Homo-oligomer: A and B are copies of this chain.
Amino acid sequence: MWAPVINPPRTALSDRSCVVLGGGGFIGTNLCRRLAASGVHVRAFGRHAHFPNQMDNIEWYPGDFRDTATLANAIAAFDVVVHLVHATTPQSSNLEMAGDVESIQASVAMFDTCRKVGVKRVVFVSSGGTVYGRAQQTPTPETAPTEPITAYGVSKLAIEKYLGLYERLHNLDYRVLRVANAYGPFHNATKSQGIIGTLISRALRGQKIEIWGDGSVVRDFVYVDDVVDALEAAIVDRSDQRIFNIGSGQGRSLRDIITMIERQLAMTLDIEWQAHRLQDVPASILNIDRARDVLGWHPKTSLDSGLEKTVDWWKRR
Residues of chain A whose beta carbon lies under 8 Å from any beta carbon of chain B: 94, 97-98, 101-102, 104-105, 108-109, 112, 143, 145-151, 154-155, 157-158, 161-162, 164-165, 168-169, 278-279
Asked if B105 and A101 make an inter-chain contact with CB atoms under 8 angstroms apart, the answer reads: yes
**What residues on B are CB-neighbors of A158 within 8 Å?**
104, 154-155, 157-158, 161
> CA A94 – CA B149 in complex, angstroms?
27
A109 touches B98 (CB 8 A): yes
Knowing that A94-B165, A157-B161 touch, tell me 9 more A-B residue pairs with CB under 8 angstroms: A97-B162, A98-B108, A101-B108, A143-B145, A154-B158, A154-B162, A154-B165, A158-B161, A169-B278
Contact partners of A143 in chain B: CB under 8 A: 145
Distance from A159 Cβ to chain B, minimum over Cβ atoms (Å): 10
- What are the residues of chain B within 8 A of A157 when measuring CB–CB? 158, 161
Q: Contact at A108–B97, with CB atoms within 8 Å?
A: yes
CA distance A165 to B148 in the complex (A): 8
| B154 and A161 contact, CB distance less than 8 A | yes
Q: Quick one: which of A102, A165, A279 has the most chain B CB within 10 A?
A: A165
A164: which of B97, B109, B147, B161 is its contact (CB, 8 Å)? B147
CB distance from A174 to the nearest CB of B (A): 14
- A143, A169, A278: residue with the most chain B Cβ atoms closer than 10 Å: A169
**Distance in angstroms between the alpha carbons of A168 and B105 in the assembled complex:** 24
A145 to chain B, nearest CB (A): 7
A149 touches B168 (CB 8 A): yes
Q: Within the assembled complex, what's the spacing in Å between the Cα atoms of A168 and B150?
A: 9
Nearest chain B CB to A275 CB, angstrom units: 15
Which residues from chain B contact A146 at a C-beta distance below 8 Å? Answer: 146
- Structural contact, B147 and A165, CB atoms closer than 8 A: no
